[in-house]
């Protein structure tokens, strides 16, 4: 009988049998590769051997001369320095892709074709190849050749217009959400394509456009306009017609977020406030009436929350079963028991920084969970290893390639 207290062997990630060639830079392509690597795929990142991915130097600050961004987005990957603008580099890339399951690229449409690395050329040697192509506007259409960063996709997809205060210019989220959404849609496409390949043996192309990835999460924005003529506007910290659901002030100057808009939750909130009569007030009796009188209701809730310090109010609302939260910052996350209990943040050894804390791999899988195995590697750290094992390069050949600036 197995001892339940004995340590269990570490489960391999569910994608441990996949070989992925990542040829992207910045966020959209590399975040796609990060997710696949988190769940066990062997991700071989091809980078310019001179400068590497710009993410190696991006960030507000560069402690010890290195970007804090790179250990996260480069994690669980192998770095191969390879100049794709040289014929020898293109030939080596093609050799690596011939033995891979997935290739990810987020160059401007046409770049891969210019380098002789079109899907048609690559799939001729590898019919089961899945190619994820991430770009601002997609591989086709009149805008396909335009430069497109995440903020352009957020603007065109509709997100920027509805973000921020109504009396100010559109705001942005504090992260590159358009790039991240494109990466996540690319991962979904890869998983679907792998399922199709399992049944047919055939690969295919995933064409992920930044603006379409943003559009996909815009709920009923287009349909509501199509049916009613209503254009959704910026509404600041609220969603128009959803009340009470806002950020409210506390006595110690902090803010609390409360979601009390459902009928049953709202009834519990009125009890917690000591104002049960508000539940049956005609102005607030149901979802529609609360939405119509949103501003007045928020003023009532704000007057009540401002009499509490944040921690006391959180305890009261938790006891009443009312969704509420502090507005978390990085220090709050590192101190929170929920984050700790679920290992939402893990510590990873870095050769320069030492122990580095970062978000774990999500979502959690019960049998084959993801894992952060190592942080982003040094530029070209795995070049010789990968090219020797996967492209048959001898030590002499590697030396010649390095002298020629190919690697």
Angle at 297 between CA 291 and CA 300, to 5 degrees: 170
Which one, of 132, 148, 183, 170, lies nearest residue 27 by Cα?
Answer: 183
Residue with tokens 């696949």: 36
Peptide linkage before 79 cis (omega within 30 of 0): no
SS3 248: strand
Taking each helix axis as running N to C, give the angle between helix 383-391 and helix 395-403, from 0 to 180 degrees, rounded to the nearest 10: 120
- Retrieve residue 168's tokens: 């100010």
**CA-CA distance, 263 to 261, in Å (whole number)?**
6
Taking each helix axis as running N to C, give the angle between helix 383-391 and helix 87-98, from 0 to 180 degrees, rounded to the nearest 10: 60
Q: Are 25 and 53 in contact (CB under 8 A)?
A: yes
**CA-CA distance, 281 to 290, in Å (whole number)?**
10
**CA-CA distance, 39 to 29, in Å (whole number)?**
16
Q: What is the distance of C-alpha 88 from the center of its chain?
A: 34
SS3 74: coil
**CA-CA distance, 16 to 305, in Å (whole number)?**
50
Q: Are 265 and 323 in contact (CB under 8 A)?
A: yes
Counted residue by residue, the chain has a size of 407
Side-chain-side CA neighbours of 322 within 13 Å: the count stands at: 27
- Retrieve residue 313's tokens: 């109010």
**CA-CA distance, 105 to 28, in Å (whole number)?**
9
- Retrieve residue 108's tokens: 């401007």
DSSP string of 77-110, one letter each residue: EEEEE--TTSHHHHHHHHHHHHT-SEEEE-SPTT
What are the residue numbers of the active site? 179
């Amino acid at each position: 009988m197995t001892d339940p207290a004995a340590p269990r062997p570490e489960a391999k990630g569910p994608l441990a049998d996949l070989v992925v060639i990542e040829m992207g830079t910045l966020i959209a392509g590399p975040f796609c590769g990060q997710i696949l690597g988190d769940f066990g795929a062997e991700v071989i990142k091809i980078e310019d051997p001179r400068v590497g991915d710009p993410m190696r130097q991006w960030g507000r600050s560069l402690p010890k001369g290195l970007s804090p961004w790179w250990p996260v987005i480069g994690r669980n990957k192998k770095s191969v320095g390879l100049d794709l603008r040289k014929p020898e580099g293109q030939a080596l890339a093609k050799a690596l892709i011939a033995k891979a399951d997935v290739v990810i690229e987020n160059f401007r449409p046409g770049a891969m074709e210019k380098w002789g690395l079109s899907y048609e050329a690559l799939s001729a040697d590898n019919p089961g190849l899945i190619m994820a192509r991430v770009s601002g506007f997609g591989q086709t259409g009149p805008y396909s050749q335009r430069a497109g960063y995440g903020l352009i996709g957020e603007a065109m997809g509709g997100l920027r217009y509805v973000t921020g205060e109504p009396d100010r210019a559109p705001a942005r989220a504090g992260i590159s959400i358009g790039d991240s959404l494109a990466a996540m849609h690319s991962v979904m496409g890869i998983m679907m394509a792998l399922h199709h390949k399992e049944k047919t043996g055939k690969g295919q192309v995933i064409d992920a456009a930044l603006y379409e990835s943003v559009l996909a999460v815009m709920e009923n924005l287009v349909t509501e306009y199509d049916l009613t003529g209503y254009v959704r506007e910026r509404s600041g910290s609220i969603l128009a017609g959803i009340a009470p659901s806002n950020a409210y002030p506390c006595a110690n100057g902090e803010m609390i977020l409360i979601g009390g808009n459902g009928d049953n939750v709202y009834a519990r909130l009125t009890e917690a406030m000591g104002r049960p009569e508000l539940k049956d007030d005609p102005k607030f009796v149901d979802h529609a009436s609360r939405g119509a009188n949103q501003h007045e209701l928020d003023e009532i809730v704000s007057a009540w929350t401002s009499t509490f310090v944040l921690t006391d109010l959180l305890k009261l609302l938790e006891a009443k079963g009312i969704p509420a939260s502090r507005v978390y910052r990085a220090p709050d996350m590192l101190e929170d028991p929920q984050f700790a209990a679920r290992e939402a943040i893990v510590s990873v050894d870095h050769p320069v920084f030492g122990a580095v804390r970062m978000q774990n791999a999500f979502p959690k899988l019960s049998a084959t969970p993801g894992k952060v195995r190592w942080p982003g590697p040094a530029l070209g750290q795995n070049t010789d290893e990968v090219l020797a094992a996967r492209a048959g390069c001898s030590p002499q050949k590697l030396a010649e390639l390095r002298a020629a600036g190919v690697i």
